[in-house]
Amino acid sequence: MNDIVKVKYEWSYTPRTAIKNILKIDSEYGEIIFRNGIVSVEIETSNCKWNESLKLDLKVRSIAGSASLIEHKEIVLDGPCRSDTKKDGAKHYILNVHNCIIRTSSESVELVAYDQNGNEISNPRKTIEKKIFTLALLFEKYRTDNFFKQMYNSYQQSITDSKNELIHLYEIRETICLIFNGKENSIKALNISKSQWDILGILANTEPLLEGRHRGKVMPGMKRQANTQELTDARQCALEMIEKYLNYLEQKN
């Protein structure tokens, strides 16, 4: 091990377009780069222990998991494989492949705004990347929390079972109610507005939507599929509840 000067870890993910552009996140291990279906980390050290590689793998999967919540797409993550570069330039490859499916959806146009001098004043992609990183830290820290796992699984099911998407997203609100013993306590504990809280109830229970819990409470023949804006509102509401619960755990600890 003493003659190793660089250690590189790589994962592959599909589809290659699951994460838009290039995602770069600084970590204690080095810069983690998601680019064109490959995640890579280079470590300039000869002291990369196996237990550290497991922690690094967890961090990469936490980033991918947070991206899955925020970007609503499906990612299949494989790896990692490791390559050691020695002082003489020789490389040694170690393969350790296991498969992880992370679900994420939706395509949107992101416009970067510039002022009259060409200076960037607004970049939605950078905002999203910052949000992914912030959520990834909490994702990694509280991944074993049973309530978080339950809500995360419900969100994943909302992607894979799109015909019942609103049912699965509503399960997140039900879990929050279970944690805090009812609506009022939940709103207070997580600092959620009543209007935001009601969104999932209206869309999942009241509106005549085929993806809803009761398929709507209207006359037969009025049922319809949820439109893009309704699904976006429901997803954002569910995601906010998950984020606020993770922040609640952080403040509590």
Q: What is the pLDDT of residue 108?
A: 43
- pLDDT in single tens digits along all 253 residues of the chain: 467 788 888 898 887 877 777 788 888 888 888 888 888 888 876 555 555 677 888 888 888 888 888 878 777 888 788 888 877 777 776 766 455 544 444 444 344 444 455 555 555 556 667 778 788 888 888 989 999 999 999 998 998 899 999 999 999 999 999 999 999 999 999 999 999 899 999 999 888 898 988 765 665 667 889 999 999 999 999 999 999 999 999 998 8
Which DSSP symbol is given to 205?
A: I
Give CA separation, 14 vs 34, 103, 251, in Å. 11, 11, 35
Q: How large is the C-alpha radius of gyration of the chain? A: 21
Give CA separation, 155 vs 9, 107, 164, 252, in Å. 29, 18, 11, 24
List 31's β-bridge partners, or say none: 26
228: helix, strand or coil:
helix
* 41, 32 Cβ separation under 8 angstroms: yes
Name the residue among 176, 168, 212 with its Cα closest to residue 197.
Answer: 176
CA 154, chain centre distance (Å):
13
Amino acid symbol at 228: T
Residue 19's Cβ-count burial label (10 Å; 0-12, 13-18, 19+) is buried
Kindly list the strands in the beta sheet with 91-102, ordered across the sheet, starting from the edge strand earlier in the chain.
23-27, 30-35, 38-43, 4-14, 75-86, 91-102
Q: How many CB atoms lie within 10 A of CB 20?
A: 16
Q: What is the pLDDT of residue 105?
A: 42
Q: What is the pLDDT of residue 14?
A: 81
Cis check for the bond before 80: say yes or no (omega within 30 of 0): yes
The tally of CA atoms less than 13 A away on the side-chain side of residue 27 is: 27
Q: What is the pLDDT of residue 247?
A: 94
Q: What is the Cα–Cα distance from 111 to 65, expressed in whole angstroms?
A: 25
Specify the residue for token string 């509840």. 241
Sketch the domain layout of the chain as residue ranges: 4-102, 142-252
Q: How many CB atoms lie within 10 A of CB 246?
A: 21
Q: What is the pLDDT of residue 166?
A: 94
